[in-house]
A = this chain, B = another copy of it.
């Protein structure tokens, strides 16, 4: 039964205290790697990557190997028999009977939760389409905790495409749970954060400002979280040419920044951070990638150790006739899945992908 083991689908399935325990464990692993080198001996992790993400997959594999465990998996669905019409349930059911922990990446929202419904072992969400990528957020939290010494009272700038960037949304949601943080949202008007996030920040009483110039904002920041704006996201080619350099971090802009700024980036970066910045000690995005291994080690160990009650996967209810309106929701591709919604008046929120549908 899927309820009998812990999964890691969404950061919000766990309280902040659980996050903090994980960060503390990751810190201890960094300090004392030898103490953890055998804790997963004899265990197998399967990575089911329905879309390629080489770096995320290697980060998980490294984490498991550093814990003394073993790895199986696939990363190339087109050459894989799992692409030949087998549903997600069957693949999950079978592979979870081979392995002790299952890491899934899939292009559809809610797929990791769907996998957890039938898996016989813990499932970790390594990215479900544009929906969640919670181990990236854990990585970001660990990076800030280790390099700033605290997750409180920070002025955090987010720069780039804030409308579509799931890593930005997740980190914003996470950091608003820690007191006294202040957010500076740096983007074009068209690519600002979604309305629901703005509402959430207001409701949480979070301090935040929206700005259009990285150059103006950078001097106030303790943390700068860079993301890319894809060319096609600008309203026109002319707008792209006019604005593209505004959101590129270079040496000149770094001159305006505090001496203890840290610059994060979920990677891969393309042009949004000039390579000249790499030598700046405030550029910590490569360290950030390495922190990703430690937090994944902490996560794998925690889930394999878990024997406490796990969060319910589908806490909502069945609503006759209701279907999720998100065409990229896994429930619209894998029809055997039980549909489940949280009801908010005449709005239904899908338990898989969090999309809200008006009844």
Bound together, the chains give a CA A305 to CA B85 distance in angstroms of 39
Residue numbers in B under 8 Å from A286 (CB-CB): 90, 93-94, 97
Within 8 A of B (CB), among A152-175: none
**Listed residue (A56, A84, A90, A93) with the most chain B CB atoms within 10 angstroms of its CB:** A90
Residue numbers in B under 8 Å from A65 (CB-CB): 44, 70, 72
User: Contact between A94 and B267 (Cβ–Cβ < 8 Å)?
Assistant: yes
Query: What is the CB-to-nearest-CB distance from A128 to chain B, in angstroms, rounded to a whole number?
Result: 16
Residue numbers in B under 8 Å from A94 (CB-CB): 55, 267, 286, 289-290
User: Contact between B269 and A58 (Cβ–Cβ < 8 Å)?
Assistant: no
What are 26 of the A-B contact pairs (CB < 8 Å)?
A44-B62, A44-B66, A52-B80, A52-B81, A54-B80, A55-B94, A55-B95, A59-B98, A61-B72, A62-B72, A71-B72, A75-B79, A75-B80, A78-B79, A84-B268, A86-B270, A89-B278, A90-B268, A90-B286, A93-B286, A93-B289, A94-B267, A94-B286, A94-B289, A97-B293, A275-B336
For residue A97, which residue of chain B has the nearest CB?
A: B290
In the complex, how many residues of chain A place their beta carbon closer than 8 angstroms to a beta carbon of chain B?
52
B86, B97, B289: the one within 8 Å of A97 (CB): B289
Bound together, the chains give a CA A307 to CA B59 distance in angstroms of 27
For residue A43, which residue of chain B has the nearest CB?
A: B65
Within 8 A of B (CB), among A46-66: 46, 52-56, 58-59, 61-62, 65-66
Residue numbers in B under 8 Å from A59 (CB-CB): 98
